[in-house]
Structure 1
Amino acid sequence: MECMNSDWLTTGETASMLGVSRQHVVNLCDRGELHFSLAGTHRRVRRADVQHLLDPGLTREQEKSLWLHRAMLGPLMIDPNAVLDLARENIRAWLPQHREDGMAAGYLKQWLDVLDGGVDDVVESLTGTDEASCELRQNSPFAGVLPDADRRQALRSFREHWDHEHSAA
């Protein structure tokens, strides 16, 4: 007659979610790769930890890029025309440096479409966590938007955030 909180899973339930054996879950727990609590002699795993294994989220580089692009929201909101014009100028300068049929040129052309969509589309791409937004940010035309001192401060803040949020991982 066991009453379990739905936030906690048995090793069998965890195994089913992960598509592995119960013993594999026990091994993950014993190696410290999956946090657990004991309910008597039985391991219980937080559902959130299992979800993290299934979808680990953004990589460090993707999160750093997201952080920097979020920092650009201030200048974008204060003077959208200047920021969008600078991005267009960067694209015009960079496109000739890449093969017409290459991936970099493809991303720059996608950015032109985003810029043509206006500020709301730009904000969505700058802050989205979907795969397309992550890839676009890796080929960002927003160089020069943030003053160097602001960029360095944003990177320092990111490192502190990352170290704090991921220290237990």
Structure 2
Amino acid sequence: MIAQRLLLDGSLLEIARARVQSWLEGGHPIPEYARAWSEILAQDMGTIAGSLIDSSERGRELRQSSPFAGCLSAQERWRLWREVRSLIEQTDDT
């Protein structure tokens, strides 16, 4: 959902870049993630969006410390959780 929104609203990219810059300047609990996000956010929009939906272990690790935190409202997050839970339950039933 954030990847789609990013493609429609470039201002999210500037917010994320500013957040990563503050991580780099002020310290981040995991500096490696801050550096990795800095490199990702320097890429083109398609590459950035791809990183947001990367299903690899590295992609999941980076999303634990996403500069896009706060881009979704609480309602949007809960809707996503419900959709995922429903998909998991459907998979368990088969």
1:92 aligned onto 2:18: no
Task: Tell me the TM-score normalized by structure 2.
Answer: 0.81
In structure 2, the gaps of 5 or more residues are none
- 1:20-51 deviation per Cα after TM superposition (whole angstroms, max 9, x unaligned): xxxxxxxxxxxxxxxxxxxxxxxxxxxxxxxx
Structure of larger gyration radius: 1
1:163 pairs with 2:89:
yes
Distance 1:86 1:164, change over 3 A: same
Q: Which amino acid aligns with 1:141?
A: P
Whose helix fraction is larger, Structure 1's or Structure 2's?
2
Contact 1:125 1:137 in 2 (8 A): no
Change in 2 beyond 3 A, CA 1:138/1:118: same
> TM-score when scaled to structure 1?
0.49
**Residue 121 of structure 1: SS of its match in structure 2?**
helix
- Residue deviations 1:80-99 (CA, integer Å, cap 9, x gap): x2111111122234442435
Paired with 1:108 and 1:133, the residues of 2 have a C-alpha distance of 13
Structure 1 stretches lacking a partner, 5+ long: 1-70
Identity %: 29
Aligned residue in 2 for 1:112 = 38
Tell which has more relative contact order, 1 or 2 (C-alpha 8 A, sep 6+): 2
- DSSP 3-state at the match of 2:71: coil
One-letter identity of the residue aligned with 1:89:
A
Cα distance in structure 2, aligned partners of 1:140 and 1:156: 21
Runs of 4+ in 1 over 4 A off after TM superposition: none
8 A contact 2:17–2:38 mirrored in 1: yes
